[in-house]
Amino acid sequence: MRRLPSGRWQASYVGPDLARHAAPYTFDSALDAEGWLANERRLLASDESWTAPKQRHALLRQAQKADGLTLREFAPDALAHRRTRGVPLRPRTLQLYRGLLERVIYPTFGDIALRKVTPEDVEAWWDALPADRPTQNAHSYALLRSLFAEAASARERPRTGVRANPCMVKGAGVARRHREIHTATLDELTAIVQAMPDRLGALVLLCAWCGLRFGEVAELRRGDVDLTRGVLCVRRALVRVDGADIVGRPKSDAGARDVAIPPHLLPVLSDHLTEHVGRGRSALLFPHHAGTDKHWTHGMFYKVWMPAREAAGRPDLRLHDLRHTAAVLAAQTGATLAELMARLGHSTSVAAMRYQTAAQGRDAQIAAALSRMAGQAAP
């Protein structure tokens, strides 16, 4: 594999004819290129009548062109014109969808006429997906289903020939969490902060007590902190797409919010602003290098995060797990579903309900407290 000057990736391999063969198209990421190479390996292992990739691709396109529009031809334009509440898809979402298409969907359905895909084809594809990637599988199925729904719409049907959506596998588009999250205890949180560089301790505390996403806290600036009112104004977030930092609105419309800062954090933030943040309102709260406007990225941050979580005895703890910690702590205070959604910037109630369920683990503590109350009231 090699990266082209355009930033896209090219994949090639030496075939049975001892000649080097490149993919007939380039890829958004190295992972997508690896997926194409893996599919070629499977073909080499299972098909004795191997043909060069470009020749095979040309034959498929030629044979299937007469059959109608293919998914590879339909999907890019469909995604480019897709709107969510009137807003185009975000760059990170587009990158995710393109990766799923290249790695998971196109190898099976990319060059087949849309109108020829049957429910049996989709079911067979779904059954063959790797069992150890449930989230990727669910997202891929949901994307495929949405594309076919659009292809079958009254607007697109004359062009695609799709009369009904062939994606009929019940529950396939729902990602089921397979990793149990153990939130950080207050002692573990203290140990992590102590093990972090001084200029990053406040970042950990904001994630753990205010529930900010990494992209939100990485883009916080001096003007977003109102110590008088005790509020963080979350209006922007950082995402990394194809190696470039892009600052935009938070993940969802609900992500643009004001978050009340727990009072015990106000002195910490005040000291941080004095010691580690530039004077202007636009100065980053947590610059990668002091006095610069360079953001932290996940990769760079994890180089200091991993030793700190090891020091706290929590090598399993992801940075995003601090957001879960904040959510459970808020739920334990008795926060309502609507209050949790507002604080965390959730646009749906599904995630907030999960945190309220986690807080129900305090039931035994509540029962014990009730008994103590009863003992105090006894004559």
In the chain, what percentage of residues exceed pLDDT 70? 85
pLDDT for the residue 343: 84
Is 138 among the domain residues? yes
179 is catalytic: no
Answer whether residue 105 shows pLDDT above 90.
yes
Answer whether residue 179 shows pLDDT above 60.
no
106 is catalytic: no
Answer whether residue 67 shows pLDDT above 90.
no
Same domain, residue pair 323 and 357: yes
- pTM for the complete prediction? 0.60
Quickly state the pLDDT bin for 64 (edges 50, 70, 90). Answer: low
213 is catalytic: yes
Three-state DSSP class for 90? coil
Average pLDDT over residues 204-216: 92
Find tokens 């084809």 and name the residue: 121
Is 370 among the domain residues? no
Using left for φ > 0, alpha for ψ between -120 and 50, and beta otherwise, residue 135 falls in alpha
Average pLDDT over residues 34-44: 88
Is 160 among the domain residues? yes
pLDDT for the residue 351: 60
Cα–Cα distance for residue pair 84/94, rounded to 1 Å: 13
Q: Record the tokens describing residue 110, joined without a space.
A: 């990319």
pLDDT for the residue 252: 64
Find the Cα–Cα–Cα–Cα dihedral 197, 247, 230, 330, rounded to 10°. Answer: -80
pLDDT, tens digit, 9 for 90 and up, residues 347-360? 666 665 665 555 55
Is 379 among the domain residues? no
346 is catalytic: yes
Cα–Cα distance for residue pair 261/84, rounded to 1 Å: 31
> Of these residues, 21, 103, 145, 213, which one is catalytic?
213
pLDDT, tens digit, 9 for 90 and up, residues 195-206? 999 999 999 999
Is 378 among the domain residues? no
> Of these residues, 2, 81, 159, 320, which one is catalytic?
320
Choose among 40, 11, 38: nearest CA to 23.
11
Cα–Cα distance for residue pair 323/346, rounded to 1 Å: 12
Same domain, residue pair 288 and 322: yes
Is 257 among the domain residues? yes
> Of these residues, 97, 106, 141, 355, which one is catalytic?
355
Q: Check if the beta carbon of residue 174 is closer than 8 Å to that of residue 168.
A: no
Radius of gyration of the chain (CA): 25
Q: Determine how many CB atoms are found less than 10 A away from the CB of residue 63.
A: 11
Higher pLDDT, 188 or 348: 188
Same domain, residue pair 307 and 347: yes
Q: Record the tokens describing residue 199, joined without a space.
A: 């200029």
Q: Where are the alpha helices (DSSP H) in 47-90?
A: 53-65, 71-80
| Domain end residue (candidates: 141, 175, 209) | 175
Instruction: Out of 55-59, 163-167, 297-301, pick the least confident.
Output: 55-59
| Domain end residue (candidates: 29, 53, 77) | 53
Same domain, residue pair 140 and 274: no
Report how many domains make up the chain: 3
Element spanning 138, H or E: helix 134-151
Same domain, residue pair 132 and 166: yes
Cα–Cα distance for residue pair 78/70, rounded to 1 Å: 12
Q: How are beta strands 257-260 and 244-248 bridged, if at all? A: unpaired
> Of these residues, 346, 354, 362, 372, which one is catalytic?
346
pLDDT for the residue 344: 82
Is 374 among the domain residues? no
Q: Check if the beta carbon of residue 358 is closer than 8 Å to that of residue 182.
A: no
354 is catalytic: no
Same domain, residue pair 109 and 192: no
Same domain, residue pair 38 and 72: no
Average model confidence (pLDDT) across the chain: 85
Higher pLDDT, 48 or 230: 230
Residue-number span of the structural domain to which 134 is assigned? 67-175
Three-state DSSP class for 21? strand
> Of these residues, 236, 314, 323, 324, which one is catalytic?
323
- In one-letter notation, the amino acid at residue 254 is A
What residue ranges in 16-151 does DSSP mark as E strands?
Answer: 20-22, 83-84, 87-88
Same domain, residue pair 248 and 136: no
